[in-house]
Amino acid sequence: MRKLIRVDMTQGKVQVEDLAQEYALLGGRGLTSTIVAREVPPLCHPLAGDNKLVVAAGLLAGTTCPNSGRLSVGGKSPLTGGIKESNVGGNVAIKLGKLQIAGVVLEGQAPEGKLFYLLVNKDGAQLLPADEFKGLKNYDLVAKLQDRYGKKAGIVSIGPVGEMKFSAASVAVTNTNGTPSRHAGRGGMGAVMGSKGVKAIVVDDKEAPGVTYNDKEAFKEAASIFRDALREHPVTKPGGGLAVYGTNVLTSILNEAGGLPTRNFTEGRFEGAQKISGETMHDVIEKRGGNPTHSGCSTCIIQCSNEYVDKDKNYVTSALEYETIWANGANCGIDDLDAIAQIDKLCDDYGLDTIETGCAVAVAMHAGVKAFGDAAGAIELIHEIGKGSPLGRILGNGTAVTGQAFGVSHVPVVKRQSLPAYDPRAVKGIGVTYATTPMGADHTAGYAVATNILKVGGFVDPLKPEGQADLSRNLQIATAGVDAAGLCVFVAFAVLDIASGLEAIPKMLNAQYGLNLTLDDVMEYGKQILKTELEFNQAAGFTASDDRLPEFFKKEPLTPHNVVFDVTDEELDKVLDF
Amino acid sequence: MGATIRITVLLGGNLRKEAGEGRQEFEAELTSGALVEDLISRLGLPDDRVKMIMVNGKGATLDTPISDGNRVALFPPELSFNTFVSLSFRKESVEGRGKQRA
């Protein structure tokens, strides 16, 4: 029986309970969204005591299944005002799985000015004072906690930005090296954690009981088929596209396709793309003796992570990712990889979502606060956020607030969350996802599963509106299922082309939990999660008019293809109408 | 023989090294009327090393004709994933190139 840890921050009480029957088969996003929908008043203020922060491991966490170490961080988002699941890798989810802990729920609010951290281990959980850690950045904080609990402890934490409760605040998670470089960035969940008065959650899995399997042999067999699929596919295999170039493999591809948003979404190609591409990054890291191929998340065999080093071979940051490189690179007109790496490190250290931050800086640049391409200026702005200066407070509360503060009408957000690295005019399918997902503009919400598996017929041309609604719907449903299992979204690339790998997913769930699920059931499960999230948002006041892209995407043609976003509102309204 | 056309070529991933090109992006000359497959053989790339093709930023196949001033991008299998997903190109649209050739 998996357990749930509930922490009442108002009373300072910790309770370890058996996972309620109704939550028994929920994991990851399924668990966070269900708890939030059932227990958080939709109209509450996201930074008030009634909101909850739910941290949940996926259903396969702690097993021998590869790439099963994703962690879901959920609550009502201070950025969007709706339900949020922010997904992150690192080393914590599998430790929770081994401890047979499904998740941690932070409720209520610590007394004003008090700060705590939660220690989770084989004996249960304990709330401890963290006043001495006030204002610490993530790297320093983690070093201090590791002095106490060892390098191997998994740590979930917030930096000063989370303590200041800015809407772009992330929740950091340690990677396999114990570095706080994996982040649940989106939606300001770091601000919710800060509002609870919780600086960190330390997860120590020494002498953990481990996962129990209903049928261990069947699990091993299915996991081995799944592993073979990941090892065989050119994108995910050792030495494959993700391992060699990381997620930044996408810069060249998106730039070529005319969908790389440049200078605050005013152009679709960036003249400096090759200076920041995955190919260039790989060569730079390799030449300097850094690590272009790194396993950032426990159980990961894809290894899309990297360790970026400076000219003197000193570690700068880990997992310099496509989204970060785009948001703070092309989107700000910056073509300096070293500057972008520095920005990534600063964001990780202060506890900031790199996407929201880059988009906010780009909007500020659009307003003339700094010039596009001014890397030193961008770095200066990020320090302002970390310091909590008045300018930093504007930027740190995200792209929408920044646009408002500087009178910019060209503000790329949906539900007040900034758009990620695919321009929806040139990549219309993902534009539909941005518009309709309950998460606010989010690329991962409908990204993962290829069209052929989902029976979407025919070629869906990214530049045409036809077929995009069906495509997005099926992707969103499948992704919710993947998120609940705790699997990395990148496994999709392999299992789409290798049917046995896909079939292994329900087989693993069945063998672990004694179930009889089919693939269709996993899809239905995903649909249920989406329904739960949509109902919460509706009760929180969202209507169809929130499922729209900003109007400039419909009016301003994007170079080089000179296209606008032309999926009709009627089609958007049908996407999640089930 | 036809006139000469000048194009820009972009090679994704390791193709730049496999084609013996120092740079990811470079200019090339082809004979007028050349198809994408002609460019691939000109570069000395084995057929199975090119899986995703774009001409002027749009999905293309081996038998797509190349015109003067075009920009042709070639990506190997290990980079050919997001076209099926984010960009929602269909797998067949790139794999179909084999059939069209036969």
Read off the CATH number of the domain in which A166 is found: 3.60.9.10
Q: Is residue A542 a contact partner of residue A415, using CB atoms and an 8 Å limit?
A: yes
Q: Which of A252, A284, A302, A456 to mutate to test the interface with B (most CBs of B within 10 A)?
A: A252
Domains contained in chain B, CATH given: 4-101 (3.10.20.30)
Question: Where does a domain end: A378, A397, A418?
Answer: A418
Average pLDDT, chain A: 94
Q: Where are the beta strands (DSSP E) in A122-197?
A: 124-129, 154-157, 171-173, 182-184
pLDDT in tens, A368-425: 999 999 999 999 999 999 999 999 999 999 999 999 999 999 999 999 999 999 999 9
Across B63-84, average pLDDT: 84
How close does chain A come to B40, measured CA to CA in Å?
18
Instruction: Say what the pLDDT of residue B61 is.
Output: 83
**Are residues A443 and A374 part of one domain?**
no
The answer to whether residue A218 is domain-embedded is no
Same domain, A413 and A432: no
pLDDT bracket for residue A447 (50, 70, 90): low
Q: Is there a contact between A475 and A466 (Cβ–Cβ < 8 Å)? A: no
Q: Are residues A30 and A156 in the same domain?
A: yes
* Domain shared by A352 and A495, yes or no: no
Please list every residue in chain B whose beta carbon sits closer than 8 Å to the beta carbon of residue A234. 76-78, 80
End of a domain among A395, A418, A441?
Answer: A418
User: In terms of domains, do A191 and A270 share one?
Assistant: no
Q: Which residues on B lie below 8 Å from A459 (Cβ)?
A: 89-90, 92-93
Cβ <8 Å between A451 and B57: no
Judged against a pLDDT cut of 80, whether residue B63 lies above it is answered with yes
Please give the tally of structural domains in chain A.
3
Is residue A173 one of the residues assigned to a domain? yes
Shortest CB distance from A462 goes to which of B78, B79, B88? B88
User: Any idea what the CATH number is for the domain that residue A497 is in?
Assistant: 1.10.599.10
Which one of B82, B83, B90, B97 makes the best mutation probe of the A interface by having the most chain A beta carbons within 10 Å?
Answer: B82
Largest CA distance in chain B: 41
Q: pLDDT tens for residues A326-375?
A: 999 999 999 999 999 999 999 999 999 999 999 999 999 999 999 999 99
Looking at the fold, whether A413 and A441 belong to one and the same domain comes out as: no
Could B91 and A450 be called an inter-chain contact, meaning their C-beta atoms sit closer than 8 Å?
yes
B24, B49, B51, B85: which to substitute to probe chain A, counting the most A Cβ within 10 Å?
Answer: B85
Span A121-176, pLDDT tens digits: 999 999 999 999 999 999 999 999 999 999 999 999 999 999 999 999 999 999 99
Dist CA A449 CA A426 (whole Å): 19
Tell me which residue range forms the domain holding A492: 428-575
Q: How many CB atoms lie within 10 A of CB A100?
A: 18
A403 and A438 share a domain? no
Q: What is the pLDDT of residue B83?
A: 42
Query: Do A11 and A154 fall into the same domain?
Result: yes
State ipTM.
0.90
Confirm whether A215 is domain-assigned: no
Q: Inspect the interface and report whether the beta carbons of A279 and B85 lie closer than 8 Å.
A: no
Residue A458 lies in a domain: yes
pLDDT category, B84, cuts 50, 70, 90? Answer: very low
Q: Looking at the domain assignment, is residue A217 inside a domain?
A: no
pLDDT at residue A460, as a whole number: 64
State chain A's maximal CA–CA distance in angstroms: 62
Give A-chain residues touching B10 at CB under 8 angstroms: 252, 256
* Residue A216, domain member (yes or no): no
Query: Which of residues A418, A451, A479 is at a domain's end?
Result: A418
CB contact under 8 A, B84 and A450: yes
Compute the nearest-CA separation of A50 from chain B (Å): 37
Name A478's Cβ contacts closer than 8 Å, sequence gap at least 6.
Answer: A448, A449, A454, A492, A523, A526
Q: What is the pLDDT of residues A81-116, one digit of tens each?
A: 999 999 999 999 999 999 999 999 999 999 999 999
Q: Which residues of A touch B13 (CB under 8 A)?
A: 241, 244-245, 249, 279
Contacts with B82 from chain A: Cβ below 8 Å: 250, 253-254
* Residues B17-45 pLDDT 10s: 999 988 899 999 999 999 999 999 999 99
Q: Based on the fold, state whether residues A254 and A197 are members of the same structural domain.
A: no
Tell if the CB–CB gap between B86 and A430 is shorter than 8 Å. yes
Q: What is the pLDDT of residue B72?
A: 96
Which chain B residues are within 8 Å of A256, Cβ to Cβ? 10, 12, 54, 57, 71, 73
Query: What is the Cα–Cα distance from A462 to A328, expressed in whole angstroms?
Result: 25
Say yes or no to pLDDT of B96 above 60: no
Question: In this model, does residue B98 exceed pLDDT 60?
Answer: no
Strands (E), A142-286: 154-157, 171-173, 182-184, 198-203
Percent of chain A with pLDDT over 90: 87
Of B54, B58, B78, the CB nearest to A241: B78
Measured distance CA(A533)–CA(A300) in Å, rounded = 29
Q: Is residue A233 part of a domain?
A: no
Determine contact, residues A174/A139, Cβ cutoff 8 Å: no
Q: Are the Cβ atoms of A274 and B73 closer than 8 angstroms?
A: no
- pLDDT value for A390: 98
Exposure class string for A527-550: b at 16+ Cβ within 10 A, else e:
bbbbbbbbebbeebebeeebbbbb
Q: Do A257 and B54 touch (CB under 8 A)?
A: yes
Beta pairing, strands B52-55 & B71-75? antiparallel
A444 and A541 belong to one structural domain: yes
User: What letter would DSSP give residue A119?
Assistant: E
The residues that bridge with A173 in the sheet, in sequence order, are A156, A182
Regarding whether A406 and A353 lie in a shared domain, the answer is yes
Residue A110 carries which DSSP code? -
Q: What is the mean pLDDT of residues A453-475?
A: 66
Judge if A397 and A442 occupy the same domain: no
Has residue A224 been placed in a domain? no
